[in-house]
């Protein structure tokens, strides 16, 4: 059975554009590991997970790398790869330190208060610089923003697929609900 059919994949980058005339690719890295691409022998590109051995990697700006792949030797060969995602098998993901998680581990978790009350499901993660913020959607289609801080997130149980929180006053009140469909304008009389 081909590897593509029985493998789970993790996205580690996105090809922004060809770079230069020799087929290098400008890649936006989605990895927190600075030399992630340098640690790999090959990557998989596009929805069909086509394998490409890595010839060379070099840093480019803050969150980018220049990637040279075997068989991509000029701009014409590199251009069709523009805007493609870059994947690796989940089995090749770097092991994280304790109490750190990949985004794909967090998305979809059920969020419960410490007393067992269901709050909702994590549907999005917003990076803010200091800490992430989880968007939690309730069964009633309400959304809450939960900061990913130890004072609120008390336990993450990936086996049971749940996150336990101890919300501060006001965090889950009706005033804290994100209402994406209504906008309020006040009239001045």
pLDDT tens digits, one per residue of 169-182: 889 875 445 545 44
pLDDT tens digits, one per residue of 20-47: 999 999 999 887 777 889 989 999 999 9
The per-residue pLDDT for 135 is 95
Give alpha helix (H) positions in the chain: 3-6, 75-78, 103-106
The per-residue pLDDT for 103 is 81
Q: Out of 3.40.50.920, 3.40.50.1820, 3.40.50.880, 2.40.30.60, select the CATH number for domain 6-91.
A: 2.40.30.60
Q: How many C-beta atoms lie closer than 10 Å to residue 141's C-beta?
A: 10
Place domain 103-176 in its CATH homologous superfamily: PRC-barrel domain (2.30.30.240)
Q: Are 176 and 168 in contact (CB under 8 A)?
A: no
In the predicted model, what is the mean pLDDT of residues 114-130?
91
Return d(Cα 72, Cα 90) in angstroms, integer: 25
Where are the domains positioned within the chain?
A: 6-91, 103-176
């Amino acid at each position: 059975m081909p590897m593509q059919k029985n493998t789970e994949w993790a996205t580690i980058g996105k090809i922004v554009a060809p770079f230069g005339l020799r087929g290098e690719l400008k890649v936006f890295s989605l990895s927190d590991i600075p030399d992630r691409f340098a640690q790999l022998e090959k990557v998989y590109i596009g929805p069909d997970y086509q394998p490409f051995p890595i010839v060379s990697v070099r840093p480019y700006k803050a969150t980018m790398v220049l990637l040279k792949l075997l068989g991509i030797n000029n701009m014409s060969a590199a251009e069709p790869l523009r805007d493609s995602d870059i994947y690796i098998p989940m089995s090749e993901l770097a092991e994280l330190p304790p109490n750190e998680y990949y985004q794909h581990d967090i998305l979809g978790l059920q969020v419960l208060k410490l007393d067992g009350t269901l709050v909702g499901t994590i549907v999005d993660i917003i990076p803010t610089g200091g800490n992430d913020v989880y968007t939690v959607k309730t069964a009633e289609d309400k959304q809450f923003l939960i900061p990913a801080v130890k004072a609120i997130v008390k336990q993450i149980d990936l086996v049971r697929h749940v996150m336990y929180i101890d919300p501060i006053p006001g965090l889950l009140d009706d005033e804290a609900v994100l209402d994406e469909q209504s906008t309020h304008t006040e009239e001045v009389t």
